[in-house]
């Protein structure tokens, strides 16, 4: 296993890139720690595959370096990087049995027969293939074939990292949960450095210890699921994480007060005097319908989803969502909304203002 360092890494598919917009991957600097499980999360076209291909050595970056345990591997081939990869679609040898498929990466490296057998048994047991080891891969369902691919990706214990590129796409929805849980246990047991690419927030948040969120070619935040939920660094993270995502309301801010259409919202921190496009961000879970205080609201529609009611409403021409918890009665004279001040974020030109830092007088953004 190894730590992965991305140093001034950027990539453009243009022959002579100039503008920022020419870059499919804008400059990133970060160390991904040894033995951690990361998810690379973002919408289609945001640069996930570009970054993964640079890490795996399929693509040479326009600038910057990739280091495995501080060794520069930017010019090394995929084979030299000693990584395992699991792709979106199963890659299995149809004429081999499940067991032979799982053993293949170990046989290829001349491992001892006893070790191979013990390792194959262990992996098969952990991903629920122990009853299928003697079956030929041909004719198995795509779910089972993808399980073999996952198993083959995990079978070596000497790889620097395992890269998963949307590995559960072909998996039946009810099996996805099971496989994600199994992957998590495999990670806990073997401690591989894992990078799991997905556009699905549920997959990312349930699998990874840290989620790397990408948007428009840029890594906008690397954080735990809790950090992404509570303190999204960029409006995209607020919007993309959570269902529905964070509400954003244009405001002006001065110190500890936000202002919208002459109404004041008290803030828990001093945000100074931010200049630019200022947005107040609040998750639907922290908006409360009231009868007396708060901003005037007009309810558009209510959706009952069992544990929650989602209320779609309008505050000064801005559409917002409210998650009303179980047992909360929505009454017709609830014409105002309040925001829980401890869960308000303020964004300036798309980036969250780090209120704690501003309180301390540094004014830094997160
Ligand atoms: P998806 O989830 O759809 O695979 P992604 O997040 O993996 O998307 P990339 O495939 O890395 O995104 O693409 C990032 C950007 O680079 C996109 O605008 C894409 O059109 C562009 N791109 C990707 N590969 C090439 C290529 N070989 N030549 C030119 N442009 C490319």
44 lines ligand 1 (CB under 6 A): yes
pTM of the model: 0.90
pLDDT tens, residue by residue, 12-67: 999 999 899 999 999 999 999 999 999 999 999 999 999 999 999 999 999 999 99
Whether the per-residue pLDDT at 365 is higher than 50: the answer is no
11 lines ligand 1 (CB under 6 A): no
Whether the per-residue pLDDT at 299 is higher than 60: the answer is yes
199 lines ligand 1 (CB under 6 A): yes
| 291 vs 170: which has the higher pLDDT | 291
Q: Which two tokens stand for residue 241?
A: 């994480």
Q: What spacing in Å lies between the alpha carbon of 246 and ligand 1's midpoint?
A: 27
Assigned CATH topology for domain 4-235: Rossmann fold (3.40.50)
In this prediction, residue 361 carries a pLDDT of 54
Whether the per-residue pLDDT at 246 is higher than 70: the answer is yes
Q: What spacing in Å lies between the alpha carbon of 51 and ligand 1's midpoint?
A: 10
Whether the per-residue pLDDT at 75 is higher than 90: the answer is yes
In this prediction, residue 305 carries a pLDDT of 84
Mean model confidence pLDDT for the chain: 92
Q: How far is CA 325 from CA 231, 253, 315, in A?
A: 22, 30, 20
Residue of 23, 25, 46 with the most ligand 1 atoms within 8 Å of its CB, for mutation = 46
Strand order in the sheet with 278-282: 247-250, 278-282, 345-348, 351-352
Averaged over 251-256, what is the pLDDT?
A: 96
In this prediction, residue 366 carries a pLDDT of 39
pLDDT tens, residue by residue, 300-328: 999 988 888 999 999 999 999 999 988 88
Strands 298-304 and 318-325: what pairing? Answer: unpaired
Nearest CA to ligand 1 atom 29: 13
CB neighbour class for 10 (10 Å; exposed up to 12, middle 13-18, buried from 19): buried
Whether the per-residue pLDDT at 80 is higher than 90: the answer is yes
Whether the per-residue pLDDT at 73 is higher than 50: the answer is yes
Percentage of the chain modeled with pLDDT above 70: 97
Averaged over 190-195, what is the pLDDT?
A: 90
Under a CB-based contact definition with an 8 Å cutoff, are residues 85 and 153 in contact?
Answer: yes
Looking at the CA of residue 46, tell me the nearest atom of ligand 1: 6
Q: What spacing in Å lies between the alpha carbon of 154 and ligand 1's midpoint?
A: 27
Supply angle C-alpha 355, 361, 365, rounded to 5: 45
Whether the per-residue pLDDT at 236 is higher than 70: the answer is yes
198 lines ligand 1 (CB under 6 A): no
Whether the per-residue pLDDT at 356 is higher than 80: the answer is no
Domain spans of the chain? 4-235, 243-365
pLDDT tens, residue by residue, 94-140: 999 999 999 999 999 999 999 999 999 999 998 899 999 999 999 99
Looking at the CA of residue 47, tell me the nearest atom of ligand 1: 11
In this prediction, residue 364 carries a pLDDT of 43
């Amino acid at each position: 296993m190894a730590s992965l360092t991305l140093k001034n890494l950027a990539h453009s598919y243009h022959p002579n890139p100039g503008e920022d917009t020419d870059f499919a991957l804008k400059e990133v600097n970060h160390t991904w720690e040894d033995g951690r499980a990361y998810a690379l999360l973002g919408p289609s076209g945001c640069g996930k595959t570009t970054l993964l291909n640079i890490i795996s050595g399929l693509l040479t970056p326009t600038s910057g370096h990739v280091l495995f345990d501080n060794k520069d591997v930017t010019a090394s081939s995929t084979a030299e990087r000693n990584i395992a990869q699991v792709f979106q679609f199963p890659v299995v040898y149809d004429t081999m049995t499940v067991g032979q498929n799982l053993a293949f990466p170990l046989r290829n490296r001349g491992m001892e027969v006893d070790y191979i057998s013990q390792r194959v048994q262990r992996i098969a047991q952990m991903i629920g293939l122990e009853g299928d080891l003697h079956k030929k891969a041909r004719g198995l369902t795509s779910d089972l074939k993808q399980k073999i691919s996952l198993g083959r990706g995990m079978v070596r214990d000497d790889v620097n990292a395992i890269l998963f590129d949307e590995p559960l796409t072909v998996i039946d929805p009810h099996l996805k949960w099971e496989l994600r849980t199994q992957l998590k246990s495999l990670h806990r047991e073997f401690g591989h450095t894992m990078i799991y690419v997905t556009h699905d927030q549920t997959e990312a948040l349930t699998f990874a210890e840290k989620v790397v969120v990408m948007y428009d070619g840029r890594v906008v935040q690397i954080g735990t699921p809790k950090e992404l939920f509570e303190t999204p660094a960029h409006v995209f993270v607020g919007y993309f994480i959570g269902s529905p995502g964070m509400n954003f309301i244009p405001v002006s801010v001065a110190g500890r007060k936000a202002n919208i259409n002459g109404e004041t919202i008290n803030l828990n921190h001093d945000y100074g005097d931010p200049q630019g496009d200022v947005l107040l961000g609040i998750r639907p879970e922290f908006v409360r319908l009231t009868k007396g205080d708060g901003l005037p609201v007009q309810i558009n529609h209510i959706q009952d989803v069992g544990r929650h009611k989602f209320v779609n409403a309008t505050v000064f021409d801005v559409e917002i969502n409210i998650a009303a918890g179980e047992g909360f009665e929505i009454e017709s004279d609830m014409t105002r909304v309040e925001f829980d001040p401890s869960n308000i974020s303020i964004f300036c030109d798309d980036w969250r203002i780090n209120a704690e830092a501003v309180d301390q007088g540094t004014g830094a953004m997160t």
